[in-house]
Copies of this chain bind each other. A is one copy, B any other.
Amino acid sequence: WEKIVNAVTGVAKEAKNLGEEDPRRIIHSFKVGLAIVVVSLVYYFDFLYEGFGVSAMWAVMTVVVVFEFSVGATLGKGINRAIATLLGGALGVGAHRLASFTGDKIECTMLMVSVFLIAALATYTRFFPKLKARYDYGLLIFILTFSLISVSGYRDDEILDMAQRRLTTILIGGAVTVLVCILIFPVWAGSDLHKITATNIEKLAIFLEGFGHLYFQVPNDNDEEYKASMDEYKSVLNSKGIEDSLVNFAKWEPRHGKFRYRHPWDQYLKIGSLTRECAYKIDALNGYLNSDVEFVLPLQTPVGIRTKIQESCTKMTSECSIALRELAMGINTMTCSLSADSWVLNAKAAAKEFKSSLKTDLWSDTDLLDIVPAITVASLIIDIVSCTVKIANAVHELASL
């Protein structure tokens, strides 16, 4: 009994967390409920139901299947469904007409063969990567409509009526869905993509900021807090899937907020992939904070040696961190943040400083073995500076498009 109570409170807690994490989820759920109720009015009003009959169910079905979280995804599915139904229906009616000129036996065979061929062909088309990304759902609905129309045509001779009623109800369902989705607290995939791009860059900045503190300073109580927020960069490593789908959705969306219809969404993919590249290097760097590397090389570089690289390294990380923060802010406010450039220049200067510090005699009395980890850390940080430069360029390019 206690177990059940625990399970229920656990689920309730998770539901609450999900809602607090993104309150739009709660609104979305009510929107779906509303759209279904609105479209079910087709059943309640006699003059509507008499027109459509059983086909009225396609309106309800369309709402349930097409309503997605973001406007872009909903529009994409809705447009795909409408066009695919039209094409599939037209082809189905055509095939039925063509077959009806022949005898009953041949008609049956012809319809079967055409359904087999068209279904196989359309299924194969779904493997094309470009079509899969944007029109996968449309191809599915095309197969569905074509098969349904041409197969049921064998039983029902009024398939033109049927196809037309089905198309009309699907259009009603799609229209209700799109209207509810856009008019009531719309969720734009475009702004989400915009925000996630900025957030990911900021996560890198947070890591770099913390790294300077953790690597060069004596451990203290705040370390755990730092570590927790620093680990957020790990979500950037696998962000490609989310970004790709958001870009696909965003391309369906009309002008909204600060984004015009043909906003250069592809540039976000470019920034995203540079951000990930930087995150890979940060992941390598992170190994030097933990005990990962210890198994061959000494992790604990003598403090004396850390101090030698401390100044230039903390400078590089902090300048990079500020530059990335500025870039993230610039994306958020959609301003061309030239202020980031000066921080990038500072970071570059710090990298050059480090380079010349290697030439001095500061190092002559040290054992090479001791300095290897420190040198590697410094050199990874330099790589990160060069990644930051690339991210800055890509962000500026976005601002200029």
Contacts and interface: CB of A to CB of B under 8 A. Distances in A.
A385 interface: yes
B61 A383 contact: no
Given A36-B116, A43-B155, A148-B60, A123 B376 contact: no
A383 B293 contact: yes
A139 B127 CA distance: 26
Contacts of A363: 368
A281 to B, nearest CB: 5
A139 to B, nearest CB: 10
CB-based closest 5 A-B pairs = A33-B120, A29-B124, A33-B116, A280-B280, A376-B379
B40 A147 contact: yes
Contacts of A369: 355, 358-359
Q: How many copies does the complex hold?
A: 2
Nearest to A369: B358
Interface residues of A, number: 83
Interface stretch (A206-214, A234-242, A254-262, A392-400): A234-242
Contact of A386 (B18, B61, B295): B295
A32 B123 contact: yes
Given A32-B123, A36-B143, 10 more contacts: A25-B124, A33-B117, A40-B147, A49-B155, A64-B144, A238-B240, A240-B241, A284-B383, A287-B383, A359-B367
Nearest to A63: B147
A44 B124 contact: no
B348 A358 contact: no
Contacts of A33: 115-117, 119-120, 123
A330 to B, nearest CB: 23
Interface string A361-386: 00100011100110110111011011
B359 A30 contact: no
A28 to B, nearest CB: 7
A18 B296 contact: no
Contacts of A241: 238, 240-241
Contacts of A49: 155
A311 to B, nearest CB: 16
Contacts of A382: 293, 296-297
